[in-house]
Amino acid sequence: AIRITQSPSSLSASTGDRVTITCRASQGISSYLAWYQQKPGKAPKLLIYATSTLQSGVPSRFSGSGSGTDFTLTISCLQSEDFATYYCQQYYNYPRTFGQGTKVEIK
Amino acid sequence: ELQLVESGGGLVQPGRSLRLSCAASGFTFDDYAMHWVRQVPGKGLEWVSGINWNSGNIDYADSVKGRFTISRDNAKNSLYLQMNSLRPEDTAFYYCAKDNTVAGTRGAMDVWGQGTTVTVSS
C-alpha cells in the first residue's frame, strides 16, 4: 500500500496567516491526490482534487501543488471558518490511503 | 441535491455481523464508483472498501479483507457493506462516499454521507 506522510500533525495560526500543509507519498502517484477539510462532527469535504483543481464552491484562498511524491496545500489568508482538520488522500491505486491529518488551530 | 444517507449502524457483539446501507439520490448512481470510509472518534480517516460502477472492480483495506463485503444495487441506488466477524477495533463512524469521475477508475470523493456509528462491544 502507498503510505502518505502528512505534516505537520497540528499547527497554530492566526486569521490572515498563510498556512502550508505537506504530504509525501511513498511512491509516485502522478497527480492523483486530493485534499479534504473536516470540521468536528461533520463529514469530510472535498477541497481539491487532481493535486490542484479546486472543487466547485471552494474559496480561491485554497490552492494545491506538487506532483509525483510531494504535494502541498496552501491557505493563502486564513479565515475563521478554516480552522479544521485537513487530510490528503491518494487515489492512484487501491487501497486508497489518507494522510494522518493536520489540525489547524487558532493561535 | 446530491445526497448520501447511511443506515444500519448500531451496537453489536464481537464476532457478530452487521450490514450498512447507503441510499443515494440526486445523481446517476450507476455512473460512479463508491466507497466506504471509517473514522474512529478523534482519529483519522481510513478507507475501508471501494466498488466501481458495475461491481467489476472491488477492493478492501487489509484490515477488513475477508470479513467485509461491499456491494451495490444500481436499480435501487444503494450501496452496502456486509460486515462479518466484527472486532472491537471495527468500532468507528462509517461514511459512504461517491467518486467524482464518471465510470472512471480513479476519482476523489466529492460527496459524503453523514455517517453511521458502529460499536463492537460485549
- Per-residue pLDDT of B41-98, as tens digits, reads 999 999 999 999 999 999 999 999 999 999 999 999 999 999 999 999 999 999 999 9
By C-alpha distance, the chain A residue nearest B60 is A95
By C-alpha distance, the chain B residue nearest A100 is B44
Composition of chain B by helix, strand, coil, percent to 5: 5, 55, 40
The residue type found at B62 is D
Identify the band that residue B3 occupies on the pLDDT scale cut at 50, 70 and 90.
Answer: very high
Q: 3-class SS at A103?
A: strand
Selection from B109, B102, B115 nearest residue B27 by Cα = B102
Candidates B44, B62, B106; nearest CB to A91:
B106
Instruction: State how far residue A30 is from chain B, nearest Cα, in angstroms.
Output: 12
Residues of B whose CB is below 8 A from A49: 100, 107-108, 110
Q: How far apart are CA B58 and CA B23, in angstroms?
A: 19
- The predicted pLDDT at position A17 comes to 97
C-alpha cell at A43: 463529514
Q: How far apart are CA A25 and CA A23, in angstroms?
A: 7
Candidates A38, A45, A94; nearest CB to B50:
A94
Mean pLDDT (whole number) for A26-37? 97
Residues of B whose CB is below 8 A from A34: 108-109
Residue B111 has pLDDT above 90, yes or no: yes
By C-alpha distance, the chain A residue nearest B52 is A94
The residues pairing with A106 across neighbouring beta strands, listed in sequence order, are: A13
Residue B20 has pLDDT above 80, yes or no: yes
Q: How far apart are CA B12 and CA B15, in angstroms?
A: 9
Residue B104 has pLDDT above 80, yes or no: no
- The predicted pLDDT at position B90 comes to 98
Residues of A whose CB is below 8 A from B47: 89, 95-98
Instruction: State how far residue B62 is from chain A, nearest Cα, in angstroms.
Output: 8
Selection from A18, A88, A3 nearest residue A52 by Cα = A88
Q: 3-class SS at B57?
A: coil
CB contact under 8 A, B95 and A43: yes
Instruction: State how far residue B61 is from chain A, nearest Cα, in angstroms.
Output: 6
Q: 3-class SS at B119?
A: strand
Selection from B54, B89, B86 nearest residue B72 by Cα = B54
DSSP state of A24: E
Instruction: State how far residue A45 is from chain B, nearest Cα, in angstroms.
Output: 7
Residues of B whose CB is below 8 A from A91: 106-108
Q: What are the backbone angles phi and psi of residue B88, rounded to the nearest 5°? A: -55, -35
List pLDDT tens digits, range A43-71.
999 999 999 999 999 999 999 999 999 99
Average of per-residue pLDDT values in chain B: 96
